């Protein structure tokens, strides 16, 4: 395997791996907070499910970026990259990797705080979702940056 392919596959690994790691941490934080509320009031499951799922989106964004690269470099189609293309793919995956990791963890914390809103005032759950969505914006910006870089290589 040549250096260009190794660099591109490294980009795939960090985009999927770090985004997925952040999502698992974020989902874990929100789910832990929800567990206590659900013990006391299982009827709040539907509202809490949204809070538990939201931090998982970054992992999906990272997977999409990774699949896009794999489709371009000859693993799932396309042709093998040279060294400069491999480095470009690696660089293109970095925004999603870092943005996905950090935003998912912080979104998990916001969602865990939102669980407290839902526990005490379930009618205000939309405010918790809006707060979590503000963090999601930065995951989307990272995804768009990686997407635009990858499609232009």
State pLDDT tens for residues 27-83.
999 999 999 999 999 999 999 999 999 999 999 999 999 999 999 998 887 788 999
- CA dist 143 and 57 (Å) reads 11
- 3-state SS, one letter per residue, for the chain: CCHHHHHHHHHHHHHHHHHHHHHHHHHHHHHHHHHHHHHHCHHHHHHHHHHHHHHHHHHHHHHHHHHHHHHHECCCCECCCCHHHHHHHHHHHHHHHHHHHHHHHHHHHHHHHHHHHHHHCHHHHHHHHHHHHHHHHHHHHHHHHHHHHHHCC
What's the pLDDT score for residue 74?
86
Whether residue 16 contacts residue 62, with contact meaning beta carbons closer than 8 Å, is answered with yes
pLDDT by residue (tens digit) across 72-131? 998 887 788 999 999 999 999 999 999 999 999 999 999 999 999 999 998 888 999 999
- Global pTM value: 0.90
Sign of CA dihedral 54, 57, 59, 60: positive
Say if residues 33 and 82 touch (Cβ distance below 8 Å).
Answer: no
Could you tell me if 20 and 103 are in contact, meaning their C-beta atoms sit under 8 angstroms apart? no
Query: How much is the pLDDT for 150?
Result: 96
């Amino acid at each position: 395997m040549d250096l260009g392919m190794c660099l591109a596959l490294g980009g795939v690994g960090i985009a999927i791996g770090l985004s997925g790691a952040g999502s698992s941490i974020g989902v874990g934080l929100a789910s832990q907070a929800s567990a206590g509320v659900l013990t006391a009031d299982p009827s709040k499951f539907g509202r809490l499910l949204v809070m538990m799922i939201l931090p998982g989106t970054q992992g999906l964004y990272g997977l999409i970026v990774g699949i896009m690269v794999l489709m371009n470099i000859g693993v799932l189609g396309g042709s093998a990259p040279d060294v400069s293309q491999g480095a470009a793919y690696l660089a293109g995956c970095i925004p999603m990797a870092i943005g996905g990791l950090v935003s998912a963890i912080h979104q998990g914390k916001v969602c865990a705080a939102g669980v407290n809103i839902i526990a005490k005032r379930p009618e205000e759950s939309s405010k918790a979702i809006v707060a979590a969505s503000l963090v999601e914006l930065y995951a989307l910006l990272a995804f768009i940056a990686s997407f635009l870089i990858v499609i232009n290589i």
